[in-house]
Amino acid sequence: MGEVHTGLLQNSGEISESTCRQVLGITAGETVRVSRRPIVHALSPERLTGVDCALPAASRSRVRGVGTVVSRCTVTGGRVAQGSSYVRVVRSEADRRLAWSHYLARPGVVEVLGKAKAADLAEGFTGDPAPGCLDLGAVSGRFLDLVQASPLLDRRAPFKIPRTSLRWVAETGEPSIRFTLHTEQERTLRLTHPGPFTPAVVDLCEDLATHDWLLTSLLVIVERARIGTTPGAQAVARLAPAIDHLLHLWMPAARVEEWLTPFWDSLERRPGFTRQWRSLVDRVRDQVAMNTLALLSASAETGRR
């Protein structure tokens, strides 16, 4: 299970690859991994956080888990920042808390002391977790803050857009995917995949979170432009940040391992992420075209006179 927080990098423009490396260099002696095709994507080294707390269970039964959370930050296209954390929940062999070195030898694993049902925990985590339970959102949020607080950023973002959070649970079984929008900023994802869990699943969730955030942000910008009720030039001015900063970032499933691409594909069929994105992009471009035409004909008018 994991949680991804996504937001606009607090900088006036896109940051360069070398700045990305510095911003994400959160551990001494560890390199930031950067891939350039088909879009620049930088991934920080992984950090661990120790936890010993109740795990969220839908049945509200008390389940204690001890272990470490893996966290990392990413910057996509020099523009979109993420803080992402996850754990793998396994049954503990000993029924008591062991020396800390035991848990450190299993990074990213939280061991459950006592009995717990996987379905109960999955339901609890994507539902409404009780306070005091494992809070991956807080951990991810802190890692995103870490990126956003970098002194290398000028903190002059071109527009304000809220962060989104994607809480996900992956289980082994017959392939299925369920993406749910809750409030404006909260999403959950239930994923069932064949074979054991691998970090490739985390890549998929981060990729989905990035694109969901892009879609959400573009929707907000188009909404704010009040197309049809405000004068054309004004609407276009309000759409400008989307053209400058977002439209080129849509690269679904670019870094998703091949065996997981069918999950993206099925989301493309229903609800159709790319379909919605394209219709929004067309709408933005049509507005710009219309406005250009209006300006051209206006100047032609004045020329004739």
What is the closest distance, in whole angstroms, from the C-beta atom of residue 277 to another protein in the complex? 24
Single out the residue of 37, 156, 269, 270 in contact with another protein (rule: CB under 8 A).
Answer: 37
Distance of CA 102 to the CA centre of its chain: 31
CA distance 287 to 243: 12
3-state secondary structure 242-290: HHHHCHHHCCCCCCCCHHHHHHHHHHHHCCCHHHHHHHHHHHHHHHHHH
Distance of CA 294 to the CA centre of its chain: 39
Single out the residue of 49, 185, 192, 230 in contact with another protein (rule: CB under 8 A).
Answer: 49
CA distance 243 to 241: 5
Please work out the total of residues on this chain that contact another protein, with binding judged by CB under 8 A: 40
Question: Using the rule CB under 8 A, is 93 a contact of another protein?
Answer: no
Single out the residue of 13, 14, 34, 200 in contact with another protein (rule: CB under 8 A).
Answer: 34
Q: Could you tell me which residues come within 8 angstroms of residue 235 by beta carbon, excluding any fewer than 6 positions away? A: 225, 226, 227, 228, 287, 291
Single out the residue of 22, 27, 180, 276 in contact with another protein (rule: CB under 8 A).
Answer: 27
3-state percent helix, strand, coil for the chain, nearest multiple of 5: 40, 25, 35
Question: Using the rule CB under 8 A, is 53 a contact of another protein?
Answer: yes
H-type alpha helices, 15-169: 17-24, 100-104, 118-126, 136-148
Retrieve residue 232's tokens: 């054309």
Question: Using the rule CB under 8 A, is 104 a contact of another protein?
Answer: yes
Q: Which of residues 229-248 bind another protein (CB under 8 A)?
A: none
Question: Using the rule CB under 8 A, is 69 a contact of another protein?
Answer: yes
What is the closest distance, in whole angstroms, from the C-beta atom of residue 138 to another protein in the complex? 4
Question: Using the rule CB under 8 A, is 262 a contact of another protein?
Answer: no
What is the closest distance, in whole angstroms, from the C-beta atom of residue 286 to another protein in the complex? 35
Question: Using the rule CB under 8 A, is 39 a contact of another protein?
Answer: no
Q: Name the phi and psi angles at 71, rounded to 5.
A: -130, 150
Question: Using the rule CB under 8 A, is 135 a contact of another protein?
Answer: yes
Furthest CA-CA distance within the chain: 90
What is the closest distance, in whole angstroms, from the C-beta atom of residue 97 to another protein in the complex? 5
Q: Which of residues 115-134 bind another protein (CB under 8 A)?
A: 132-134
Question: Using the rule CB under 8 A, is 35 a contact of another protein?
Answer: yes
Question: Using the rule CB under 8 A, is 204 a contact of another protein?
Answer: no
For residue 25, the tally of other CB atoms under 10 A from its CB is 16
Query: Under the rule (CB under 8 A), what is the footprint of another protein?
Result: 26-31, 33-37, 48-54, 66, 68-69, 85, 96-102, 104-105, 107, 132-136, 138-139, 142
